Amino acid sequence: MNSRRTTRARVLALTIAVGLPMTACTSADPAEPGRSAKRTVYGPPPASWCANGTPSASSGAGKLHRGALHDDFNGDGYSDVAFPAPRGDLSRSKARRKPGYVAVVYGSSHGLRISSKQIFDQDRPGVPGVGEPGDYYGISVTTADLDQDGDADLIVGSRENSHDVAYGIGGVDDGKPRQYYWQGSLSVVWGGRHGLSGSVTLPSRAASHDGVGSLTVAGDFDGDGAPDVATQARGGDLRVLSGPFGPDGTPAGGVHDVKGPRKAGMRDLATGDVNGDGITDLVSVGETETGSTRRGDVVYWKGTPDGLTAGVALSGIHGPQDAGHAVAVGDVNGDGYADIVTNAFFAFVSVDSGVGGSGMEEPEYARKYRLPHLKSGAVVYLPGGRSGPDVGKMTMLNQDSPGIPGVAHEDSGADEEGGTDYFGAGVSVGDIDGDGYADVSAGIPQKDVGGTDGAGSVVTMRGTAHGLTGEDAQLLTQDTRGVPGTAQDADVFGTATKIVDIDADGHADLLAGGEVAPDGTPHGARGGVWVFPSTACGVTPKGSVVIGPSTLGAPRQFHSALGADFNS
């Protein structure tokens, strides 16, 4: 999780552990723990996606939509994974400069090949820029074949702190050098048969306070067959770089801005063909503001032959003080239209009827805005269709929904930190069991596990012809047998998730980020990522591993934020 997906302001990190074997198609429910001598082993697992090792009845029933890999950097047919650490520092300095780095590990028939790892930062030869305090190189990453050579490229966003001074034409105001503050930047690392190498800056027209690169996605937004890049600009607008891209990073279609609705602030972006017209659409989540009224919104930016249209806020999804922090897009119900999956976190209901207050108690607020998820957060499923997102068919799932392990808790403290569990953090979409329906993973990073506070967990939910269901949901914690590590206070396991088919076996695997505190306190936290294989029975702890900074050859710094977000 980076600055846009913070869970109670805890920055995420992890150490390295080794997994233990376990029979596939099982999971654990932390609702009723039973202690063993060495670790917590929870009672009987809930129903899995398989019965006695047999795939579920829905297996193979969906429409399987496969296309060229957008994340295969070396063209070997396997998806590769970028691990951003925007608060990391490869210099091993004790000072927390936070210039940031991005690590890449390549996929293979046996999963991620750690020996193939590469690390990029702005102090590396061939990478533009200079690593400076607060640059946050890797605050966003995405992938696409920008130069259309058959190999995916890595696009990296940087916040770019206030140390870049430009001279010459366009860089002088009243005879004095112009200093840029938080303008941000985008760069690309080119893919090739031997992996990633060579990097150039993308001309994003970044100016002071634009914030370019803080959120970045790629897609063919004008349907011309060439990938484009979109990034957040000035809070609620988009800046689009229209491909194809030349070897110097210049977009042949130029750079232009697309307006968002009213005054807005974004927290996440995702892309997909929501209306099925063959052109990539874009979806953002965040807050929009009109006068003194602020509300969480899902914003739909339609792709057309002329590019993205102005963003339109979809009403009826969030209440005035309720907003999503993450969004993903994929075909959950197998009908050929990409669906939208986001989360809903109950922020804080102030009874004060003044500016920012609701003037009502929590239950009244929940009834008025028809928000059944105020306890602990929810996953919001919004189907796509010929006319775009179908708000009328929206459904919400939380820990009180049938089939989902656990219980949603009231926010009895009613403080400004809001919901207790943050169910739905870091949502991701992909076909885990290979049945043609995209499934959904979500974190519950503040979930108490046994006697630990905020140890966290991850849940996977099945896609079906009828949409997203909580039935037979699988749940993993660090105390699930076979999962590396042990649940401890403030681990916030599940703060980010990513579904990706690393070994190209037709079953998308699960990545989950969190933090581990070796001494039981957050002060010992180091970032990391758990990697879980998948089968027709769903995600399995068997063969799971955890990747930390040391695995990647990086310093084991506190709060490096490795695994805090995947955002690609």
Average pLDDT per block of 10 residues along the chain, 568 residues long: 36 30 32 31 45 49 53 96 90 72 96 95 88 87 96 93 45 52 90 96 88 95 97 93 97 96 85 98 86 79 98 80 86 98 72 53 71 79 96 91 86 48 93 96 90 90 97 93 85 92 96 68 63 94 89 74 82
First to last CA, the chain: 12
485, 462, 567, 197: CA torsion to nearest 10: 80
Q: How far is CA 248 from CA 111, 178, 244, 373, in A?
A: 33, 25, 12, 48
Q: How far is CA 73 from CA 80, 114, 149, in A?
A: 7, 15, 11
pLDDT reported for residue 346: 64
pLDDT reported for residue 446: 86
One-letter amino acid at 566 equals F
Task: Provide the CB-side half-sphere exposure for 363 (13 A, CA).
Answer: 1
390 token code pair: 């179908």
pLDDT reported for residue 235: 85
* Residue with tokens 């989360």, as numbered in its chain: 343
Buried b (16+ CB within 10 A) or exposed e, 411-450: beeeeeebbbbbbbbbbbbbbbbbbbbbbbbbbbbbbbbb
* Residue with tokens 């004008």, as numbered in its chain: 222
**Residues 188, 146 contacting (CB under 8 angstroms):** yes
**391 phi, psi to nearest 5 deg:** -60, -30
**106 phi, psi to nearest 5 deg:** -90, 145
Q: In a 3-state reduction of DSSP, which class is residue 539?
A: strand
pLDDT reported for residue 551: 87
Q: Which residues contact 412 (CB under 8 A, 6 or more apart)?
A: none
Q: What is the DSSP string of 329-398?
A: EE-SSSSSS-EEEEEEEE-------STT--SS-HHHHHHHTT-TTTTT-EEEEE---TTS--GGG-EEE-
pLDDT reported for residue 406: 86
In which region does residue 450 sit, left (phi positive, over 0), alpha (psi from -120 to 50) or beta (all else)?
Answer: left
For residue 437, give the nearest of 342, 327, 331, 340 by alpha carbon: 331
Q: Which helix (H) or strand (E) holds 270?
A: strand 263-272
Cα–Cα dist 492/456, whole Å: 4
